[in-house]
Chain A
């Protein structure tokens, strides 16, 4: 069954036709060609597909596209500040060597953003917990956890 859904995507209202069996990830990547959100497993096990739905980090590969109707969805494409400038959390990943192959990065950054939006001063345990659904094969997570800490500091220092 096909249906037209309306949602707020990265700040703008959009309409898109989706099929009942389609995941939000499928619609984002294939219908809307927003390929920043990655598919690492398609089964809810890796977090590469993480997006924000109404401020909550969600695996978009398991999220039915229909359910996104009326919701506020943020993908990695919507995280950067205006004018081609990385957001603080993204810049912290770049500066801290937290990115290698980069395939997990969009999902990691979304999960980290979801945490920092609600916990401006997270403990290491909270950071590890928030990222525990995001697999990374390259980094061993050390520099990723550090990047989130640094981003939190920088965000708190911001006026």
Chain B
């Protein structure tokens, strides 16, 4: 392994100073000349027919420029299976359905206009749980499919199934079998910067959209389709991504509010901005799906897993986003966390009249790992084994190909388990005192992209100017995770320039190369790999120029140097002869000859060489592009096979908790997080990713739940929807990174943006069990649930 100049060193993020000064511009801060404010009228019912919409009063309000409904607008269909409409025409299927929208000269008038719109409904009975929605007599959320064919049930037409080995054989071989049912709630991404966009048409009817998105290029495709639906076939959308106040999966789909802003902008001829306030964000932005998982696992006498059976039921809500592909990610831990020879996995998604769901960090993995790692502890207890030993015995190893075909290139799971145990002073998992316990849980996650689309690629363009500056154009999105700092490091390292000469351009579909989106922990992995390819190309172009220009320029250097240092004797070195393209190197912005004496004049500033190349007859300037599509496979979801990612991240977290048996309160004493990251690229950035994800894991474990009553969200604010504050996070977090130097990773690194929250909840639940002997199966682990469980425990002890 060679030494790095920049990789692994603390690199401050380029947007840090502006963010610290309040100068970064988020969608909320942007304004366009003549801009109007859009506002949406949402449904008053979870399921109803729309009889009539009266917009006359709203239209007549001074300052209102447009009022739109499905009746005066072209139909725009969108969503993962195109079952959603930008404006609803005949029926509403959830409280947040968009029935009308206005554009007005200021937000207050827009809000007033919305109040003036009257909608007459014929309420229909709704279904609010997947179980009820699957009953034969259940009302249909969608009477027809997007093609207009009648539907007979509420189950989504998406199949996720996997069978490998022979389940019966596995069951037969099992000495111990443990079954459990687990559930996870609806959870909101809670980006501190709410969702919003600005839509603006130019006089050629091409659209510019400033969007809070993680998928600018897939969004471009969706919006161009919308333009076509609006009679603007052949017109184009340019998407510009401003500073994002967080993403966490909320930007992985296009949203009705964006289509509505586009319709309003086209209707009025003005730029139109729609930004959600916090309540709108809680009620109208798709949360993480809830899930119910039944898991059965068995092992032989020694504790080796013989089979695993997993069935998942998910409440999809009323429409379908990309989040409906969660099971394709659940399949990964279900088949591949620990070695299991016989496996069955099945997942169903069901329409209900609840809010429809979308992606959130971890994308199905925290849901599945919650069940899996809780059940692992239950099985270990059944066998009478230390949960650590049990995991060690069944752990994955480098070189494994898992039952679904994941090719494990490197795997630090063993080191992760050992390090957590050592840091926690594990000692066979003995509890730490009265009501004080320890627990652990591990994870596997995609670390080398994740092919969920036909292309899993990312591009990078590098453009050099006359001063040796490097401009980087990359289609991935900086949401706060630190992508741009890693891009700077990667360019500096791979090209051989100083980090302060590297500038990252804003993400813009008009200038940046295509990228499938910033999700699945793929940002740094993809950007790094594409950068390495681009830098290689750039270096050979630079060295080609150097072959022409180097010796003349350093000749001038030498003359100047000798003039200044009359006694200087240059070493015996024929630099003209050595000026061959394969002899050059670029280091910290200077072209040098490898193995040349270290004379100060014998190096050529890159900027100077580029000027010499530019300002001459038939001059040239240098720009290169590279496109990287990782070696992974689009899985066959119906069969449940395919090497989703080029490499996989592993990790283990340990929790020490104290349970107050009077109040049911769980106090976290400390957390240990040890992650196989391949290679640490930017230490502060990486720590921030794990700390931040872990905090979301704490919220998921203990506090967060979007509560619904017949489809209506009951806690749409931070008072009633608790996310961790400084006080809830007031415990030490001991982080350690295992470097497995993966050959697929850029500089050895794996993607690690999501793993930090995947095992947190089961580690805590296992610690609670260790502390007081109660097993909580439904997240979040509230004091009420703990108290209930303690009471039941007492009862069963007495009887």
Residues of A in contact with B (beta carbons under 8 Å apart): 29, 34-43, 45-46, 48, 75-77, 79-80, 86, 90-91, 93-97, 99-106, 109, 127-129, 131-143, 145
Contact = CB atoms under 8 A, between A and B. Distances in A.
A98 to B, nearest CB: 8
List 4 tightest A-B contacts by C-beta distance, closest first: A36-B22, A101-B480, A97-B684, A102-B19
Contacts of A97: 13, 684-685, 687-688
B22 A143 contact: no
A137 B482 CA distance: 15
B22 A37 contact: yes
B573 to A, nearest CB: 42
B717 A41 contact: yes
B727 A90 contact: no
A80 B19 contact: no
B246 A103 contact: yes
Nearest to B727: A132
Interface in B398-441: none
Interface in B479-505: 479-482
17 contacts: A35-B29, A36-B22, A41-B717, A41-B718, A46-B718, A79-B21, A86-B17, A86-B20, A94-B16, A97-B684, A99-B16, A103-B192, A105-B22, A131-B726, A137-B723, A140-B692, A140-B694
Given A40-B192, A41-B718, A143-B684, A137 B20 contact: no
B193 A101 contact: yes
Given A35-B29, A36-B22, A101 B278 contact: no
Contacts of A99: 13, 15-16, 19-20
A138 B684 contact: no
Nearest to A97: B684
A101 B192 contact: yes
B549 interface: no
B24 A102 contact: yes
A74 to B, nearest CB: 11
A133 to B, nearest CB: 8
Contacts of A128: 726-727, 730
A132 B723 CA distance: 12
B482 A142 contact: no
Contacts of A145: 726
B246 A137 contact: yes
A104 B24 CA distance: 12
A135 B481 contact: no
B437 to A, nearest CB: 23
Nearest to B19: A102
A90 B25 CA distance: 17
Contacts of A127: 726
A137 B696 CA distance: 7
Given A109-B20, A138-B480, 10 more contacts: A38-B192, A46-B192, A48-B192, A93-B16, A95-B12, A101-B247, A103-B192, A135-B192, A139-B688, A142-B687
Contacts of B191: 101, 103, 137
Nearest to B188: A137
B21 A138 contact: no
B147 to A, nearest CB: 39
Contacts of A96: 684
A150 B520 CA distance: 34
Given A103-B246, A140-B692, A38 B719 contact: no
B192 A136 contact: yes
B23 interface: yes
Most chain A beta-carbon contacts within 10 A, residue among B247, B277, B482, B726: B726
Main secondary structure of the interface of B (DSSP, over half): loop
A44 B356 CA distance: 28
Contacts of A102: 15-16, 19-20, 24, 243, 245, 480
A135 B479 CA distance: 17
Contacts of B613: none
Most chain A beta-carbon contacts within 10 A, residue among B15, B277, B278, B723: B278
Nearest to B275: A39
A43 B26 contact: no
A39 B28 contact: yes
Contacts of A75: 22
Interface of B: 12-13, 15-17, 19-26, 28-29, 189-194, 243-248, 277-278, 479-482, 684-685, 687-688, 691-696, 717-719, 723-727, 729-730, 733
Contact of B688 (A35, A37, A133, A143): A143
Contacts of B692: 100, 137-140
Nearest to A101: B480
Contact of A38 (B28, B189, B717): B28
B108 to A, nearest CB: 9
Contact of B687 (A76, A106, A143): A143
A48 B22 CA distance: 11
Contacts of B717: 41, 43, 45
Nearest to B756: A140
Nearest to A104: B192
Nearest to A34: B22
A103 B695 contact: no
Contacts of A95: 12
Most chain B beta-carbon contacts within 10 A, residue among A91, A102, A131: A102
A134 B729 CA distance: 13
A101 B15 CA distance: 9
Contacts of A133: 725
A97 to B, nearest CB: 3
B618 to A, nearest CB: 41
B28 A139 contact: no
Contacts of A45: 278, 717-719
Nearest to B735: A142
B12 A94 contact: yes
Contacts of A86: 17, 20-21
Contact of B21 (A42, A90, A137): A90
A46 B245 CA distance: 14
A42 B278 contact: yes
Contacts of B192: 38, 40, 46, 48, 101, 103-104, 135-138
Contacts of B243: 101-102
A140 B21 contact: no
A128 B731 CA distance: 11
A143 B691 contact: yes
A95 B16 CA distance: 9
B691 A139 contact: yes
B723 A140 contact: no
B691 A142 contact: yes
B695 A140 contact: yes
A36 to B, nearest CB: 2
Contacts of A139: 688, 691-692, 695
B684 A35 contact: no
Contacts of A35: 22, 25, 28-29
Contact of A105 (B19, B28, B244): B19
